[in-house]
Structure 1
Amino acid sequence: MNCRYAAGVALFRIKHILAAGTFLSGLHAAPSFAQGTAAGTQIDNKATATYDTGNGATTVDSNTVSLRVDELLNVTVASADTGNVQVTPGATNRVLRFTVTNSGNGSEAFRLSASGTVGGDDFNPTVTSIVLDTNNNGVYDSGVDTVYVAGSNDPVLAADGSIRVFVLATIPAGAANGDEGIVELTATANTGSGTPGTTFAGQGQGGGDAIVGATSATATDEGTYAVSQATVAITKSATVVDPFGGATLVPGSIITYRLSTTVSGSGSLANLRVSDIVPAGTTYEAGSITLDGAALTDATGDDTGSYTSGTRTVLVSLGTVAAGTTHEVTFDVEVD
């Protein structure tokens, strides 16, 4: 009776483990499992049956079931820019940044393509090149990073590996202030793409099959150029106070010059500076420079203002100034 019971238990165990083996054979169809195990990994499993005889316990081993994890083909593309990239009409080789990630479970090469004619925007950027981030610093370095040539240097990424990709484009000269232009970058697994579950027999890493994952083994994301045309207008005015409390221009009169600088349009202007040369027949009044009412020194380097006696130049650095902003610089001279 005990032998029959033990044999029944052994049979149950064998059936249970064989059923598990059947489940493993379909493992590649479940991305949540295949992505976590490297393609080509061998999964071995063996069952045992133990029973009692009059001479003690006896163990019997089953045959070993060996299964190999197939390669899952998945990829993602994501813009790496924090927002729209500001450009001007006619600008060339303006850079959009993307990250391409192999979200599959095996090493895979990916074919890249970019398009500036996707629709839904105000103008079509002309894509001039796709560039791979050769030195992996995340920043486009002209002459250092490698220009991509489809089919020649398709990036090969390990499972979960990523690469920064730059798309360079030219902006039409006729683009208007505030216009936007979209560029799409697409990455596709070289082994193949298509409906999730599509199988490429024998083409997976390690000699197994390659199975298209949930991303269809192709992915696209977009980056946007925004035309920003900021312009500068500067207006100069003067007021006079004479030694007698009036406004006549005589020797000893003090002239206060006001330089009002306004940035209009959209976006911002970098490294904006305002300068003025003290006119002949006058002498600069030391320490008289102000910016928006705040006093600046005459020395170079301790704040944004300076006066250079050799060139008789008043200089104020405004830095990066956003459109819609006005700054006023003043300084005084005395009539000789």
Structure 2
Amino acid sequence: MMKAPVGGAKHHPLLFPSCSALALAAALFAPVTAHAAGTLAGSTISNTASASFDNGGGVQTIDSNRVDLRVDELLDVTVAGSTTDVPTTPGATNQVLTYRVTNTGNGPEAFALSTIANVGGDDYDPAVTQIYIDANNNGTWDPTDTLYVAGSETPLQPDASMTVFVLATTLSTATDGNRGIVTLVARAKTGTGAPGTTFAGMGEGGGDAIVGSTGADGQDNGAYRVAAATVSLVKSAVIVDPFGGAEAVPGAAITYTITATVAGSGSVSGLAINDNIPANTDYVASSITLGGSALTDANDADAANYDGTRIQVLLGTVPGGQTRTVTFKTKIKAN
């Protein structure tokens, strides 16, 4: 049942009279079901005393009136960010952080969710776009999960948890290694405040609601870490002329070396090296190598091909910190 906001009231009949703290301490409690969140709100604690005596006519036993106590509702919640340093790239959208919200109070309570993306201590502020509730409880965000809308909260039972996904966009200006922190905040809809704060008549069963040690306001951080990569390309040439020298004369052979270096903690995909055969030179057939291994000119299963005007070597996905070296040969036209 949805809790009323601060200042409102739950409409429940008053079932039991209130009792003093002294009466509570003196009561012999009846057995109750134990929960991590404590005795359930609205539970009844009942006690009847008895006395036995002999007034000359034999032993007699009499009972006192019964004292009934209703357990008030304790408002408590914890938030745990279960993912941190989630890999992302500059400009990436729908990047997911995962959190676990647990009702650590002793009554059903709804919690309002919000995020803070500028808490400090990081390198950039992620742009939060949406919050989702894990509808199928598989722990993984998918578009069929429930989009969170403020005001649509439903109560979470005592000791129960829900998985919450926060989706955000990484700034296009973020660079490799940058961290972006997002805080998820869960606040009890009945009310928050300093521990011990009382909301009269707003607890489960018509009792009071009491703010617990968490302030009924839990939060925790999740973080993204940018794993970006950059590519640098260096080309060099070595000439061997027909006379054993290194002069660029007709008939001289030129060996071109192209080195692609990937830097950063991320990786690049679809990396390809293309080089047009220079004017006034002829390509030397079957001269392409990758990492020193010969490749064919045909557009076949290996990484290279020559189409009559340029060579191409398909390198695919290359992680940061690695290099790829391609060579090929041409000959300066002699006539």
**Taking structure 1 as the reference length, what is the TM-score of the superposition?**
0.67
Identify if the C-alpha distance between structure 1 residues 85 and 223 changes in structure 2 by more than 3 Å, giving closer, same or farther: farther
Gaps of 5+ in 1: 1-16, 25-31, 248-254, 299-304
1:267 aligns with 2:269: no
Pick closer, same or farther for the CA change 1:316–1:203 going to 2, 3 Å.
same
| Structure 2 contact 122–180 (Cα < 8 Å) conserved | yes
Structure 1 residue 129, shift from structure 2 partner = 2.2
**1:290-301 maps to which residues of 2 (within 5 A)?**
none
Deviation track 1:81-118 (CA, whole Å, cap 9, x = no partner) reads: 13254331x33343322221111111110111123233
Name the residue aligned to 1:182. Answer: 181
Task: Supply the RMSD in Å over aligned alpha carbons.
Answer: 4.7
CA separation of 1:50 and 1:176: change in aligned 2, threshold 3 A: same
Instruction: Give the structure 2 partner of residue 46 of structure 1.
Output: 48
Q: For residue 61 of structure 2, what is the amino acid of its counterpart?
A: T
Q: Is the 8 A contact 2:84 2:223 kept in 1?
A: no
Judged with a 3 Å threshold, the aligned counterparts in structure 2 of structure 1 residues 49 and 218 are, in CA distance, closer, same or farther, namely same
Shift of 1:224: 2.9
Instruction: Figure out how many residues of one structure are paired with residues of the other and give that number.
Output: 302
Q: Which has the higher contact order (CA 8 A, sep 6+)?
A: 2
Q: SS of the residue aligned with 2:231?
A: strand
Check the 8 A contact 1:256/1:330 in 2, yes or no: no
Q: CA deviation at 1:146?
A: 2.3
- Match runs of 1:146-225 below 5 Å: 146-151=146-151, 153-225=152-224
Q: Distance in 1 between matches of 2:269 and 2:58?
A: 91
Shift of 1:36: 1.7
Corresponding residue for residue 133 of structure 2: 132
8 Å Cα contact 2:272/2:312 also seen in 1: no
Q: Which moved more, 1:167-176 or 1:180-189?
A: 167-176
1:72 to 71, 74, 86: 74
Alignment of 1:3-22 (within 5 A): 20-21=25-26
- For 1:231, give the aligned amino acid: T
The answer to whether 1:97 aligns with 2:95 is: no
Shift of 1:33: 9.1
Residue aligned with 2:115, SS: strand
- 1:86 pairs with 82, 85, 88, which one? 88
Cα shift at 1:51: 3.7
Q: Is the 8 A contact 2:180 2:223 kept in 1?
A: yes
Give a deviation string over 1:131-153, Cα, whole Å, max 9, x none.
22222222221x312222111x2
Give the superposition deviation at 1:18. Answer: 5.1
Matches of 2:205 and 2:224 in 1, distance apart? Answer: 43
Contact 1:34 1:69 in 2 (8 A): no
Q: SS in structure 2 opposite 1:35?
A: coil
- Residues 280-320 of structure 1 show CA distances to partners (whole Å, capped at 9, x for unaligned) of 966659xx876xx8x8999xxxxxx767999x98655556x
Letter in 2 for 1:189: A
User: 30, 37, 40: which is aligned to 2:39?
Assistant: 37
Q: Which runs of no fewer than 5 residues in structure 2 stay unpaired?
A: 1-21, 247-253, 297-301
Counterpart of 1:148, as a letter, is: Y
SS at match of 2:193: coil
**Do the aligned residues in 2 keep the contact of 1:123 with 1:181 (CA within 8 Å)?**
yes
Q: What code does the residue aligned with 1:267 have? A: S
Give runs of aligned pairs for residues 101-120 of structure 1, distance below 5 A. Answer: 101-120=102-121
Amino acid at match of 2:140: V
Query: In the aligned structure 2, how far is the partner of 1:34 from the partner of 1:314?
Result: 62
Which residue identity is paired with 1:138? Answer: G
Show CA shifts across 1:3-50 (max 9, x none).
Answer: xxxxxxxxxxxxxx95634697xxxxxxx9993211111122222223
1:225 and 1:187 mapped to 2: Cα distance?
20
Q: Is the 8 A contact 2:85 2:224 kept in 1?
A: no
Are the equivalent residues in 1 in contact too, given 2:79–2:220 (CA < 8 A)?
yes
**Deviation (angstroms), 1:198:** 1.2
Q: Distance in 2 between matches of 1:81 and 1:40?
A: 36
SS in 2 for 1:156: coil
1:296 and 1:158 map into 2 onto residues whose CA distance is: 66
Contact preservation (8 Å) 1:34, 1:70: no
Residue 36 to residue 259, structure 1, CA distance change in 2 (3 Å): farther
Go from structure 1 to structure 2 and tell me whether the alpha carbon gap of 1:23 and 1:70 turns closer, same or farther (over 3 Å shift): farther
Higher mean C-alpha deviation, range 158-167 or range 100-109: 158-167
Could you tell me how far apart the structure 1 residues matched to 2:54 and 2:286 are? 112
State the shift of 1:182 in Å. Answer: 2.9
- Classify 1:235/1:119 alpha carbon distance in 2 versus 1 (closer, same or farther; 3 Å): same
d(CA) in 1 for partners of 2:131 and 2:138? 16
